[in-house]
Structure 1
Amino acid sequence: MPQALTAPRLRELKALLEARRQALQAQMAQNRANLAPAENTAGSVSQDENGRLSNQTREVDAALTALDAQELARIDRALDEMADGSYGDCEECGRPIPFERLKVEPMTRHCVPCKEKLEQRAARA
């Protein structure tokens, strides 16, 4: 049975979450920059530059930004749970999530057996 997380392991997981958060924020900023219309030196939007990104590319950047925002919310939730001491327990069964699983996916809310059950239920629905 997994043990509760030690302080050094919590610090390691927090560092992983914060690094991923920083990378996501940079990626989201780049996606937003890609979505913004380009401006020429006169300050007006050039038709050529504005048209250089196809609608498809814009849709992809918008979708990626939305996915990144969802992941960012999961990271923030995990960091909040670390701060209040509720981090690392399975939301479904209440048992501690193994450190090895948290290291791979530090914002998870479920142990592997519970996650598999949830995915099986979702597949049947």
Structure 2
Amino acid sequence: MKHAAQRVRAVVSALIMVATHAHGAPPRPYDSHMTGEKLVRDMLADPAQGQLNSVRRERAMGYIDGVMGAAAGHQWCPDRKSVPHELNYLIVEDLSRLSKDKLKGDAAPAVLAVLARLYPCKAAGARR
């Protein structure tokens, strides 16, 4: 019994090593856990309807804030423009007008498209 367990562990270890060091294996595609549809639903969840909705809304706000922070100055440029504290709601309002097909994909590109439209970056060398 002891030897069988040792062999199983050795085989599993070998399989893990082969799987993690396989050369030429294509990388797994990124599978977003936040679709546009989910982002809109979570952001518009009524917190008065329960604690889960409060958690969903906070998660949606955090997601948008993370996308904004990662892309600020690159894909959207607030520069000297005032950024309203309601920006998360403005973004979701804009997203809610998209078709159902567009909302099925990753939310980040859709959020960035709204931000780029509202706060476009100036071309390199352009006067501010």
- Whether these two folds match at TM > 0.5 is no
More helix as a share of residues: 1
TM-score for both structures, normalised by structure 2? 0.25
Q: Which has the larger radius of gyration?
A: 2
